[in-house]
Amino acid sequence: MPKTLFEKIWQDHLVADLGNGSHLLHIDRVFLHERTGSIALTGLAERKLQVRNPAHAFCTMDHIVDTRPGRGDETAMPGGREFITRTRQETRRAGITLFDINDPRQGISHVIAAEQGIALPGLTMVCPDSHTCTLGALGALAWGIGSSDCEHALALETLRVIKPEQMAVYLEGDLARGVTAKDVMLHLIAEYSASGGRGYAIEFRGSGIGQLPVEARMTLCNMAVEFSAFTGLIAPDEATLDYVAGRPYAPVGDQRDAATAYWRQLSSDDGAVYDRELRVDLADVEPTVTWGTSPQHAVGISGRVPDPGNESDEAAGRAMQRALDYMGLNPGTAMSSIPIDAAFIGSCTNSRLSDLRAAADILEGNKIARGIKAICVPGSSRVKLEAEQEGLDQVFRDAGFEWRESGCSLCFYAGGEGFTRNERVITSTNRNFEGRQGPGARSHLASPATVAASALAGFITDARITGN
């Protein structure tokens, strides 16, 4: 029987069929962070269990750590210091690699797992964070788990998993100028709803994939979870193999040759069957921005805020009205006329070097609008260093942005630093539910280019109009 990419990786890692759709899988890599990693490691210690393979477990400081210059263990989150110091203590006890605050390899888990070559094609990888699916862009089977499952994976290198159904999302045609992977995902989610991928592992396919650099593919897979999917993945191609080559944890020599031969087999067979297929005509996608409190509340930047009264489903209409009330918007408002108070570039979705370059192209030689708070947080210390070597940091600073240390930062509010009530933020993050970036903060999801252009104008703006 022809097999899909997902099926090939699943079968290669299948330890046992437990019945009723439940399988026991071998787990190749476990990645932790200081918010939940210390909990999982402490749980193991209390049960007198050890990490089975410390060489395949990693941890970073990203969720709670401060991103302001001169940072240390102190953090704006109440109790944050305890998470940081406990994580440091427990990783040392367990013998696993920690990318600590001042380690040049430190960064957001899903950014550095790829950057360091920890995530590789064909591997299974888990992390107690829902956006672990980002790493499917390399052809890995990666998904987010809870602390209890994390303990199990650390102790036994296996996990009990309910096998999802399979979906193919075909991206066909050519991307228009100024349209990004972020816009494609917001368009997809708006078209099929935030629950459109529920119960599925999604493979992104089609001619459009080859137009996207590997880092842009990471944005696609990152937001698969916002589509409610189990994970997202893309078959590795030559661009993937070039990206992986030479990474610190990637195989070398004869092992590299053997791995490459295996990686080249990781694609869906002709005739492989999916449980559902969706198609996106890329010609229909324009720069896209959210207006509400879900990624599905999105329209093209040339569009207008929709009217809940036009919804045939009463429940959907009520949900839309609640979102508009929270966001302080009226139906019919042109998206390109909405004023903003703040701009944020960062997160595991859009904080890589290519994202910063795209924003810097818009910002260079310009100043942000008066009164706008603008912050850029690179996704890793390596991204920050490379950006500084290219002079991008100076472009951001000259434009009026704060230039931060790497971490999750203001992507989400955990009781520490956040945007304020009714503060309207154009943001390159992945979630816009009520309070996501601070109590009462109003978040509009967009690409880094759209964020940069909007910061310059002081209102939501099409970057294709303002770009250099």
Residues 34-70: pLDDT tens digits? 998 889 999 999 999 999 999 999 999 999 999 999 9
pTM: 0.97
CATH of the domain at 193: 3.40.1060.10
The pLDDT score that the predictor gives to residue 467 is 54
Do both 255 and 292 map to the same domain?
no
CA distance 254 to 73: 42
The pLDDT score that the predictor gives to residue 277 is 98
CA distance 159 to 178: 41
CA distance 131 to 226: 9
DSSP string, 365-416: T--PPTT-EEEE--SBHHHHHHHHHTTHHHHHHHHT-EE--SSSGGGS-SSS
* Domain-ending residue, one of 253, 284, 315: 284
Do both 329 and 458 map to the same domain?
yes
**Which helix (H) or strand (E) is 433 found in, with range?**
none
Do both 278 and 317 map to the same domain?
no
pLDDT along the chain (468 residues), means of 10: 97 97 98 92 94 98 95 92 95 97 98 98 97 98 96 98 98 96 98 97 97 98 98 98 98 96 97 98 97 98 97 94 98 97 98 98 98 98 98 98 96 88 97 96 98 98 82
The pLDDT score that the predictor gives to residue 195 is 97
Neighbouring-strand partners of residue 272 = none
The pLDDT score that the predictor gives to residue 293 is 98
Do both 116 and 197 map to the same domain?
no
The pLDDT score that the predictor gives to residue 468 is 55
Do both 273 and 392 map to the same domain?
no
Query: Which domain covers residue 83, as residue numbers?
Result: 22-162+237-261
CATH of the domain at 131: 3.30.499.10
Closest CA to 338 of 220, 424, 423: 424
The pLDDT score that the predictor gives to residue 18 is 97
Structural domain includes residue 16: no
* Domain-ending residue, one of 261, 296, 323: 261
List CB contacts of 160: < 8 A, sequence separation 6 or more: 18, 22, 23, 24, 152
Position 368, amino acid:
I
Do both 292 and 279 map to the same domain?
no
List CB contacts of 387: < 8 A, sequence separation 6 or more: 353, 356, 378, 393
